[in-house]
Structure 1
């Protein structure tokens, strides 16, 4: 039985383009006929709203986690799934209730593997990729995403503070996976908000390449106003005709397929 490839997109620093990356990679993979499930585990639920989610009375990722910890499983996983016609992806949304999930996770005897148990269910084998958009922290929820994932993608804004946080994220992955060599779990490091005409962007990009060599995905994602516009209009860049950044994300999509 084929298992979906689980990709967690994480960086403990906020504002580095995690949600933009999750959306565009998911939509980009869908464009090349992959079946995609996006999972929002950020209590700010930006990805969910970007995909058109509003409260609909159906359960979210919070209820899914609660049911798993309580061992009260839904007979119908489709209760949790929404579909975005615009991006042609399925998704499990989050809402404000997710902020209270840490206590629920902590009550589980295997608290770091709750998401692993959820997405190991045979229902999810219908997907080619499950992409988890993490909140900007290193809490128990993000630890679950790291434990669950087959591959980790770290978006890194082209500035010093974001660069300095990469090593901490890698150390956390190493601790969660209990492996000295975590290369098998690394999808890559994606430079974002890259302004090629600035000294700092080029210095950070060069430092990333020197420190992390082949793990650095190319091209770097450019800092352009169209990224902010796509957030306002709630559409992916890969589905914008003639989008420069959309083309960059599609090149990353093909690299992800090659690496997985």
Structure 2
């Protein structure tokens, strides 16, 4: 069965999408079969992966078909980014209206779980869910189907304070829809080692959530802008320090999966 990892934080601007992209690319780089699903109506992950509207279904149509009971045997909603070696399902602005569609289902928190429990999804080693910056029903669907979560946290005070709300939502989900949900790790992003604030936030996270913070941080460097401009990961950018940092995160994720399976 696929390992499903959701990239979650209700605060925007913390690096969720670039984390989803680089974790997906890193997993593919080490030989995993990866599917990335954009669950944010802004569609930034879709843009990174080169999506151009092509008339084929997006994740919005896949959700609508599941709720309405009208399914097809076609898998044309899956695209391929050959450069990153990632399959993906894009999002568009229609996804903003899917919360009400999900709410009309008898098992409104488990629609995406039902979708991902079937072929072709079960053939992937990893499925990465890039979630919107909220904790609405769409994100709850992602939490209900995921094996684990990565929580990106920018190295600043407001982002640190927002983690507590995410933890409360996770606790509720573990007590109801998904008792097996684990936190793969809290990932400190936009980290400036030379500043006291970044180091204070890192220290506070380790004190508040011992054992949950990734061993390394994602640095605040100008090279991150290259990823935005080129619509590509930093994993595959030669000499990228951030790419190497994300590759270390991927190695930790795989090691944790191996430990959990053991």
TM-score under structure 1 length normalisation: 0.96
Q: C-alpha deviations, 1:117-136, integer Å up to 9, x for none?
A: 00011321210000000000
Shift, 1:177, TM fit: 2.4
Partners of 1:177 and 1:184 in 2: how far apart? Answer: 6
Aligned to 2:6: 8
The 3 A distance-change label for structure 1 pair 183 and 218 is farther
Aligned to 1:156: 153
The 3 A distance-change label for structure 1 pair 207 and 182 is farther
Partner of residue 125 from structure 2, selected from 125, 128, 134: 128
Gapped regions of structure 1 (runs ≥ 5): none
Aligned to 1:88: 85
Aligned to 1:69: 67
Aligned to 1:231: 228
Gapped regions of structure 2 (runs ≥ 5): 258-262
Structural RMSD (CA) = 1.3
| Residue correspondences, number | 256
Aligned to 1:20: 18
Report if aligned partners of 1:158, 1:193 keep a CA contact under 8 Å in 2.
yes
Q: How does 1:1-260 map to 2 (within 5 A)?
A: 3-76=1-74, 78-178=75-175, 185-260=182-257
Report if aligned partners of 2:38, 2:46 keep a CA contact under 8 Å in 1.
yes
Report if aligned partners of 1:173, 1:182 keep a CA contact under 8 Å in 2.
no
Partners of 2:72 and 2:213 in 1: how far apart? Answer: 40
Query: Per residue, is there more helix in 1 or in 2?
Result: 1
TM-score under structure 2 length normalisation: 0.95
Secondary structure at the counterpart of residue 73 of structure 2: coil
**Structure 1 runs (4+) greater than 4 angstroms displaced:** 181-184
Partners of 1:162 and 1:258 in 2: how far apart? Answer: 27
